[in-house]
């Protein structure tokens, strides 16, 4: 029987995906408007209205997305590319690892009961598997090819088909691991470049006494580190989520495959023939 517990996570998958996307953009939206222009905040705080009139409301410094990407330097380009690739493949895995796509209930509920009732032979079973074109159908087809052989041979064919299916289900998971490894390094490299530029500016300009300029430059230099960590955290969470999903699907495929072995192996067929013979003699 199908394991209904694994269908429950489909309810909170969209919410978890949204959380991952928000985490990926944390580094960008966490840029404080006050830190973007610290000198502007000081000017607004010290400005006094003239002639007793109420002065204009202080302006809030802000940056749009393009300005933030420019502030982070050239290393924000590969980090943005990593974030975009991560988002694309998260959507791909959410779609490809749906239970209804890997283990479609209509196919399983039709295939196994008909085998138990003796309504399918080897050729008909292969046709049903070819029509389904799902991962569970590929696993079943590998076992059906050994129809009527000893249980050991059928199980070995089932294992071989399961390994091929597992390889397809785990496709692109290494990409998440790679992004999680590279993104913090790119962010750190961008920070190093930013600090180099900052100290060069200090050496060539009279900025030692102007702490607001130093703070602004350091905040811009650290922007790439924040972006790299945000992308890496999202990639690690995605990797663990999809790896667990694949493992659960493989467990369910193995359980269904063992049930199939008990129906089409030589021992099972011989036992069924023996039961049929005893029934005819009793009649």
DSSP letters for 44-59: HHH---GGGPPPPPPP
pLDDT digits (tens, 9 = 90+) for 149-193: 888 888 898 899 999 999 999 988 999 999 999 999 998 888 888
* Burial (Cβ within 10 Å: 0-12, 13-18, ≥19) of residue 139: buried
Say whether pLDDT at 20 is over 70: no
| pLDDT given for residue 196 in this prediction | 80
Q: How many CB atoms neighbour CB 188 within 10 A?
A: 15
pTM value is 0.70
pLDDT digits (tens, 9 = 90+) for 220-239: 778 888 889 999 999 999 99
| pLDDT given for residue 148 in this prediction | 82
The least confident of 1-5, 155-159, 257-261, 263-267 is 1-5
What are all long-range contacts of 20-24, with beta carbons under 8 Å and residues at least 24 apart? 20/90, 20/234, 20/237, 20/238, 21/87, 21/90, 21/234, 23/230, 23/233, 23/234, 23/237, 24/83, 24/86, 24/87, 24/230, 24/231, 24/234
Say whether pLDDT at 15 is over 60: no
pLDDT digits (tens, 9 = 90+) for 182-209: 999 998 888 888 888 777 777 766 655 5
* Burial (Cβ within 10 Å: 0-12, 13-18, ≥19) of residue 105: exposed
Mean pLDDT estimate for the chain: 75
Tokens linked to 185: 């390094």
Nearest to 166 by CA among 202, 135, 203: 135
Residues 31-46: what's their mean pLDDT? 41
Say whether pLDDT at 219 is over 90: no
Looking from the CA of 226 toward its CB, the CA atoms found within 13 Å total: 18
Q: Give the DSSP per-residue string, 57-108.
A: PPPPP---HHHHHHHT-TTHHHHHHHHHHHHHHHHHHHHHT-HHHHS-HHHH
| pLDDT given for residue 9 in this prediction | 45
Residue 73 sits at the vertex; the CA angle it makes with 72 and 77, to the nearest 5 degrees, is 90
pLDDT digits (tens, 9 = 90+) for 55-105: 444 444 455 656 666 666 778 888 889 999 999 999 999 999 999 899 999
Label residue 8 by pLDDT band (50, 70, 90). Answer: very low
d(CA 121, CA 137): 16
Say whether pLDDT at 240 is over 90: yes
| pLDDT given for residue 67 in this prediction | 64
């Amino acid at each position: 029987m199908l394991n209904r517990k694994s269908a429950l996570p489909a309810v909170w998958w969209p919410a978890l995906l949204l959380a991952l996307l928000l985490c990926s953009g944390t580094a960008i939206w966490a840029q404080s408007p006050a830190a973007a222009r610290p000198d502007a905040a000081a000017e607004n705080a010290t400005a006094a209205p003239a002639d007793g009139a109420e002065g204009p409301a202080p302006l809030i410094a802000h940056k749009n997305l393009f300005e933030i990407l420019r502030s982070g330097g050239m290393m924000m380009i590969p980090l943005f590319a990593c974030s975009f690739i991560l988002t694309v493949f998260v959507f791909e895995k959410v779609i490809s690892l749906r239970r209804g796509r890997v283990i479609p209930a209509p196919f399983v509920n039709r295939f196994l009961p008909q085998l138990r009732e003796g309504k399918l032979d080897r050729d008909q079973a292969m046709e049903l598997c070819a029509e389904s074109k799902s991962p569970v159908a590929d696993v079943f087809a590998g076992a059906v090819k050994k129809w009527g052989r000893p249980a050991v041979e059928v199980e070995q064919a089932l294992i071989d088909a399961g390994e091929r299916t597992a390889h397809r289900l785990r496709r692109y998971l290494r990409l998440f691991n790679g992004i999680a490894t590279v993104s913090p390094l790119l962010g750190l490299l961008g920070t190093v470049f930013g600090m180099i530029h900052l100290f060069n500016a200090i050496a060539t300009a009279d900025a030692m006494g102007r702490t607001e300029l130093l703070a602004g430059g350091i905040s811009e230099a650290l922007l790439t580190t924040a972006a790299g960590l945000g992308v890496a955290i999202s990639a690690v969470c995605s990797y663990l989520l999809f790896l667990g999903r694949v493992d659960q699907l493989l467990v369910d495929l193995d359980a269904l495959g063992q049930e199939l072995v008990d129906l089409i192996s030589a021992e099972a067929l011989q036992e069924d023939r023996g039961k049929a013979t005893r029934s005819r003699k009793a009649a």
